Amino acid sequence: MANPNILLTRIDNRLIHGQVGVTWVNHLGANLVVVANDKVASDEVQQNLMDMVLPDTIQARYFTLQKTIDIIHNASPRQKIFLVVRDVQDALKLKEGGVPIDHINVGNMHYAEGKKQISSTVSVDDEDIEAFNKLSELGVELDLRKVPNERGQNIMELLNK
């Protein structure tokens, strides 16, 4: 069982949008965007809206977390995968489920009541912090950055301020 060619995993509660569908895809040289999210996997309207953002040359797949865990190792080596999840809990479930995630780009986690803002685009609560700590303990590099040409920040340093 070969490891899938996952170029990058990104946490972005907007999933596929302009930054992801154009800027990041082009920067990475990805030819497949896999959105791992239980709700979106069964929401064709949302899938169609996200597909409209992607260039015609880029494919997208929308899987539940469990299906992603079950099939990611079947990916062809020529599939250059950009894995996108909605939140840090989904990323942790994938990692714990055996998806080979070594590096996560933390892009966008909206502010909500009970969350504290740690950057202009990322807000966290205790549950998020716990999941980030577990990912870090599992050896995952956690890089906060909106766009590829921005200097990244280690999210663990921001959480421990």
DSSP code per residue over 33-94: EEEE-TTGGG-HHHHHHHHHHS-TT-EEEEE-HHHHHHHGGG--TT--EEEEESSHHHHHHH
Residue of 17, 27, 73, 110 with catalytic role: 17
CA distance 33 to 51: 10
Buried b (16+ CB within 10 A) or exposed e, 69-78: beebeebeee
Which tokens is 4 given?
């899938």
Buried b (16+ CB within 10 A) or exposed e, 101-123: beebbbbbbeeeeebeebbebbb
Residue 51 and residue 33 in contact, taking contact as beta carbons nearer than 8 Å = no
27 in catalytic set: no
Which residues are the active-site residues?
17
